[in-house]
């Protein structure tokens, strides 16, 4: 019985020591140097992936304009109407031609009916009947041609309606009612609702950009409390004016003004840095301190210089330590 109680006491002691070591491990952090990308602050602009112009298909005078800068439109929505006085005159002329062709067709049908009766009674030769039938067929074809021409003019008039080429927001409408437009002239430019952050970096940083790389956006730039992380979706192969251009995707950019400048941080060259959890730092009188475990169980405080918040090597809520710590130091949570 005594041996059983002794074994139980020893087992309980081992469990207590293990639990103490586990709890102690959660309250400690071993400092090590990790590779981080050296962040570079650049300005990105909020831009639409596609800006499509809505163009007039016919020439004429702008008689209706239904949109203004900033309005949202749907694909195919009618936003303007262009009218041509010459088309109206052409339609009046073709209507007169149709009326004349209808009269000739009616007369030709009467002549054909009369010729058939005369041929039936043997008064008119059959050759004359063939001529009359041909004249009636020609009059009917002329009427059909005039009607088809009026249909073409009607379709041309309908092309005076300017439709939005895509769903999005109107960026510019550089025309007013009464403006004279030529075929193909822009009535409005529409930005699709797919917005990106467009970065322009010096070409020496081109080799550090890749699709999927993270780009950090400061919280004040987004009007929030926490920094947001965007990811590069496209790197353009053409370098313009010594700068490489890349697009980064980030949710919530649809509420921004197109062209607004946003400060972002892009990782460039890799370097070694010391990262510590922010929970292990204490700030007193403007100075940051950490508790370091020395040889044995003695703990002393060390003043450190805090750097930029950095997430690296699985350390959440990490902070770069610029001075005061070395790899291998054991930090103790306050």
The predicted-structure confidence for 102-138, as pLDDT tens digits, reads as follows: 888 888 888 888 888 888 887 778 888 888 888 888 8
Model pTM score:
0.55
Which alpha helices (DSSP H) does 57-125 contain, by range? 85-120
Residue 164: HSE in the Cβ half-sphere, 13 Å Cα cutoff: 25
Domains and CATH numbers, the chain: 27-48+194-332 (2.40.30.170), 54-84+160-191 (2.40.50.100), 85-156 (1.10.287)
pLDDT over threshold 90, residue 187: yes
pLDDT band at 222 (very low <50, low <70, confident <90, very high): low
Residues 151-170: tens digit of each pLDDT? 887 787 788 889 999 888 88
Helix or strand or coil: residue 329? coil
Q: How far apart, in Å, do the first and last CA atoms of the chain sit?
A: 45
The predicted model gives 167-194 an average pLDDT of: 88
């Amino acid at each position: 019985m005594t041996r059983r109680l002794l074994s139980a006491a020893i087992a309980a002691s081992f469990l207590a020591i293990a639990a103490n070591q586990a709890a102690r491990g959660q309250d400690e952090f071993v400092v090590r140097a990790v590779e981080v990308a050296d962040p570079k602050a650049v300005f990105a602009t909020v831009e639409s992936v596609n800006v499509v112009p809505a163009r007039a298909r016919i020439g004429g005078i702008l008689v209706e304009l239904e949109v203004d800068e900033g309005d949202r439109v749907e694909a195919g929505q009618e936003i303007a109407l262009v009218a041509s006085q010459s088309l109206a005159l052409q339609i009046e002329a073709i209507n007169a031609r149709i009326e004349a062709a209808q009269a000739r067709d009616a007369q030709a049908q009467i002549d054909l009916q009369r010729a058939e009766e005369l041929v039936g009674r043997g008064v008119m030769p059959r050759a004359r009947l063939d001529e009359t039938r041909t004249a009636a067929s020609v009059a009917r074809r002329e009427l059909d041609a005039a009607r088809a021409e009026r249909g073409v003019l009607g379709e041309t008039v309908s092309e005076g309606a300017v439709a939005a080429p895509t769903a999005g927001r109107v960026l510019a409408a550089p025309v007013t009612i009464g403006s004279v437009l030529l075929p193909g002239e822009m009535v409005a430019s529409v930005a699709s609702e797919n917005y990106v952050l467009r970065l322009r970096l010096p070409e020496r940083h081109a080799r550090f950009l890749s699709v999927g790389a993270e780009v950090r956006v400061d919280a004040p730039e987004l009007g929030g409390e926490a920094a947001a992380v965007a990811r590069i979706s496209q790197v353009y192969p053409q370098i313009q004016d010594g700068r490489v251009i890349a697009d980064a995707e980030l949710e919530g950019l649809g509420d921004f003004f197109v062209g607004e400048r946003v400060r972002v941080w892009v990782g460039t060259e890799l370097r070694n840095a010391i990262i510590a959890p922010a929970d292990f730092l204490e700030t007193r009188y403007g100075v940051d301190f950490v508790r370091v475990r020395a040889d044995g169980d003695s703990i002393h405080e060390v003043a450190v210089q805090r750097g930029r918040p950095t997430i690296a090597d699985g350390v959440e809520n990490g902070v770069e330590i610029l001075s005061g710590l070395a790899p291998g130091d054991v930090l103790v949570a306050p």
